[in-house]
């Protein structure tokens, strides 16, 4: 069994008006099943309101299924006794860097998780040091979080999660509020954790450039998983993604447009290198 297994997950919430009367029921996640293997880099794509964040919050027992089951490392998230184990196993990084840093000094914030878990003082220091080093923020350990850039703050948040020694990190749009530089920093840190520490990554995003390195991509719409596969498979569906309010990387889009003009370009071109090679083949087919 993989690190995360989701079966037939449905999550509904009841909308109420100002007097508290029921206005209706919204199904935010509608019959989703996932299997995520230890060590994978998984991306979940979807436009705002597609249910991707709601799904993410199920993976570390912040939300509980209305129907269906979520297992994290073999434990059912609805089992009250397992909640703290699950939250430690599947750490979570949120969108707004300001609203998830608790400490007034970087190192104290990173120590917050281990403190809550009851880790002995000396080990907390070891964990804080190694976690800050893993995201390249060790030299900022004595800083106030208020003096850091957005990308740096998100790396501190990631360090705060790593210090809990999770098997899996769920990142809920960690780059949505960052500038391109900050986005790059965060994605590099996340990829390094996946490559080096073999931590399972579940990245929720709507930036296409961030998912081309993923092992598997799920695309959500209206609470359902509507597309899944490798990045190449998913990005082959340019028209479908556009319908889903999503982009494809510009290079994929250009290849797609050329194919529509009659060029024999392959589907799902992901990098500039692939694009150049594909164009070379077009030339030779044209009789070069």
Partner 1 sequence: MPIILDKVSHIYGEDTAMAVMALNNISLVIPDGQFIGLIGHTGSGKSTLAQHLNGLMKATAGNIYFNGEDIDAQDFDKKMLRSKVGLVFQYPEHQLFETDVFADVCFGPKNLGLSKKEIELRAYEALKLVGLEDDYFYQSPFDLSGGQKRRVAIAGVLAMKPDVLILDEPTAGLDPKGRDEILDQIARLKRETGITVLLVSHSMDDVAKYVDRIIVMNKGSVMYDDAPREVFRHYQELEEIGLAAPQVTYIMKALRDHGYDVSDEVTTIAEAREEISNYFARFAAARKER
Partner 2 sequence: MLRDITLGQYYQADSVIHRLDPRVKLGTTVLFIISLFVFQGVWGYLAAGLFLVLVIRLSTVPFKFMVKGMRSIVFLLSITVIFNLFLTPGEPVVQLWKLTITREGIELAVLLAIRLSFLIIGSSVMTLTTTPNQLTDGLEKMLRPLNKIKVPVHEIAMMMSIALRFIPILMEETDKIMKAQLARCADFDSGNLIKKAKSLVPLLVPLFISAFRRANDLAMAMEARCYRGGDHRTKMKPLHYEKRDYIAYVVVVCYLVCGIAAGRLIG
Look at residue 39 and give its three-state secondary structure.
coil
Where do we find the tokens 């500038």? 179
Chain centroid to CA 20: 34
Query: Which 141-170 residues touch partner 2, going by CB under 8 A?
Result: 145-147, 160-161, 164
Give the shortest CB-162-to-partner 1 separation in angstroms. 25
Among partner 2, partner 1, none, residue 34 binds (CB under 5-8 Å by kind): none
- Pairing relationship of beta strands 200-205 and 168-172 according to DSSP bridges: parallel
Mark the segment that binds partner 1 (CB under 8 A) among 35-43, 44-52, 105-113, 129-137. 44-52
Q: Considering only residues 7, 47, 133, 232, which one is a binding residue for partner 1 as defined by CB under 8 A?
A: 47
Among partner 2, partner 1, none, residue 249 binds (CB under 5-8 Å by kind): partner 1
Whichever of 141 and 256 has its CB closer to partner 1, that residue is: 256
Q: Is 125 in the site for partner 2 (CB under 8 A)?
A: yes
Query: Which 13-72 residues touch partner 2, going by CB under 8 A?
Result: 57, 60, 62
> And the tokens for 99?
């609203």
Whichever of 120 and 287 has its CB closer to partner 1, that residue is: 287
Q: Is 288 in the site for partner 1 (CB under 8 A)?
A: yes
Q: Is 100 in the site for partner 2 (CB under 8 A)?
A: yes
* Bridge partner residues of 188 (DSSP): none
Q: Can you list the pairs that 234-242 forms with residues at least 24 positions away whose Cβ atoms lie under 8 Å? A: 234/45, 234/268, 235/208, 235/268, 235/270, 236/267, 236/268
Give the whole-angstrom CA distance, residue 11 versus residue 118.
32
Give the whole-angstrom CA distance, residue 31 versus residue 10.
5
- The set of residues, in sequence order, having a beta carbon less than 8 Å from that of 10 and lying 6+ positions away, is 27, 29, 30, 31, 65, 66, 67, 68
- The site for partner 1 (CB under 8 A) is made up of 47-49, 149-150, 176-177, 179-182, 206, 208, 245-247, 249-251, 253-254, 257-258, 261, 263, 272-273, 275-276, 279-280, 282-283, 286-288
């Amino acid at each position: 069994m993989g690190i995360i297994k989701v079966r037939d997950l449905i999550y509904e919430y009841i909308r109420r008006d100002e007097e508290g009367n029921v206005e209706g029921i919204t199904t935010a996640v509608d019959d989703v099943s996932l299997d995520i293997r230890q060590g994978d880099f998984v991306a979940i794509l979807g436009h705002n309101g597609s249910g991707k964040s709601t799904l993410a919050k199920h993976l570390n027992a912040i939300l509980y299924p209305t129907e269906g089951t979520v297992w994290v490392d073999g434990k059912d998230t609805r089992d009250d006794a397992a909640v703290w184990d699950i939250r430690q196993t599947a750490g979570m990084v949120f969108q707004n860097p300001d609203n998830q840093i608790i400490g007034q000094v970087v190192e104290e914030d990173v120590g917050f998780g281990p403190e809550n878990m009851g880790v002995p003082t000396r080990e907390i220091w070891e964990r804080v040091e190694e976690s800050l080093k893993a995201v390249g923020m060790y030299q900022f350990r004595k800083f106030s979080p208020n003096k850091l850039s957005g990308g740096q703050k998100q790396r501190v948040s990631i360090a705060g999660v790593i210090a809990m020694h999770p098997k899996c990190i769920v990142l809920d749009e960690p780059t949505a509020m960052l500038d391109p530089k900050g986005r790059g920093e965060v994605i590099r840190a996340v990829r390094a954790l996946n490559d080096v520490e073999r931590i399972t990554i579940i990245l929720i995003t709507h930036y296409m450039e961030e998912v081309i390195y993923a092992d598997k991509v799920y695309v959500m719409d209206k609470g359902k998983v509507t597309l899944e596969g490798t990045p190449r498979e998913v990005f082959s569906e340019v028209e479908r993604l556009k319908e889903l309010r999503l982009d494809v990387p510009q290079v994929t889009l250009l290849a797609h447009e050329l194919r529509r003009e009659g060029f024999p370009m392959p589907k799902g071109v992901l990098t500039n290198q692939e694009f150049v090679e594909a164009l070379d083949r077009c030339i030779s087919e044209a009789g070069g």
